[in-house]
Structure 1
Amino acid sequence: MKDNEFFDAEPLTNAVVGLSCKDGNAFLILGLVRRAILQSDKPELADQFIEEATAHDYDHLLITCAKYVTIE
C-alpha cells in the first residue's frame, strides 16, 4: 500500500485530532496524536504510531497521523 492510499482508508483508531489551526511543529503533532491514540479505542497502538511516524520525513509523519486518527 502506498502512503497516499491511507487518506482513503478508515483510521486505525476512533481518535479525532484538530490540526488545521496548530503550529506545524513535528513534536507538537506527535504529542497531540499520541495523546489522542492513548485516549482512543486502541491505546495499545500509541507506541507503534510513534515508531512509524518518526521513521522518515515530515510528510511521512503527516501521512502516518492520517493512518491512525481522523484529522480535522
Structure 2
Amino acid sequence: MKKVIEKTVNLNLVGVDGNAFMVMGIFRRQAKKEGWSSEEIELVMDEAKSGDYVHLLATIENHCEPKDEEE
C-alpha cells in the first residue's frame, strides 16, 4: 500500500473502535490537530474510501506513526 501523501500523524489505532466511521473520524481529528490542510486530509480519506474495509484500514494505518511518549 503506497502513501497518498508523505505525511503521518501521531496516532496508534490499536484499541480504537473498529467502526470505519470511528477510525476515519479519529484520524481526521488528529490530522487537523497536527496542522494538515483540508486537501491533505481529503486525499487520504478519498483513497481510504475507494476500496473495502481492509483497504480503508490499511490506508489510514499507512498514514499513522505513533510516537513514543518518552521521545
Q: Common fold, TM-score beyond 0.5?
A: yes
Instruction: Determine the C-alpha separation between the residues in 2 that align with 1:71 and 1:21.
Output: 13
In structure 2, the gaps of 5 or more residues are none
Gaps of 5+ in 1: none
1:67 is the counterpart of 2:62 = yes
Give the root-mean-square deviation of aligned CA atoms.
Answer: 2.3
Higher-helix-fraction structure: 1
| Larger Rg computed on CA atoms | 2
Q: TM-score, normalised by structure 1?
A: 0.70
Residue type of the partner of 1:58? Y
Greater per-residue strand proportion: 1
TM-score (norm 2): 0.70
Shift of 1:38: 1.8
Percent identity (aligned): 28
Instruction: Count matched residues.
Output: 65
